[in-house]
Amino acid sequence: METGNYTSVTEFIILGLTEDSTVGATLFIVFLGIYVVTLLGNGSIILLIRSSPQLRTPMYLFLSHLAFVDVGYSSSVTPVMLRGLLGEGSSLRVAGCAAQLCSVVTFGSTECFLLAAMAYDRYVAICSPLLYSTHMSSRVCILLVVMSYVGGSLNAWIFTGCVLGL
């Protein structure tokens, strides 16, 4: 039998930005305010686009999904950070860290794919304005959105799998 160290990591200890509780509380309030504004802003964008029939165009479809991805992206990181700023729960289990990593990479990659789809939409609108409605039909737009989510998820699973393999 080989000799060596066979210990495994079960949790990560998170060292906060500061040990001072006053600074931690101040940062908590600032970041909580930013988080709430982010949620309200993106939620209102989604609600406005879904409720208005004039905004049923491909660009607004992409914008509503971009707002949804932004909510998911900020919600995957901010609650853990806020808990750490309060001094509660200064450790994170490996499974929680892996889930958070996968979530962040999923939403980040999906955002990049959605931005590429939006760029393609604008390219078609500028270069082929007369054929825009045939090139960017609702079926093509939905396909681009679905492929953005699939591509983001696939990228996250591969990335997280490679990181956990280390």
> What is the CA 130 to chain-centroid distance, rounded?
35
Tell me if the pTM is above 0.75: yes
Residue 91, φ and ψ in degrees, nearest 5: -135, 155
CA proximity to 11, closest of 63, 125, 89: 89
pLDDT for 104-141, tens place per residue?
999 999 999 999 999 999 999 999 999 998 999 999 99
CA proximity to 151, closest of 113, 117, 121, 118: 113
Q: Residue 16: which residues within 8 A CB-CB, separation 6 or more?
A: 24, 84, 85, 87, 90
pLDDT for 140-159, tens place per residue?
999 999 999 999 999 999 99
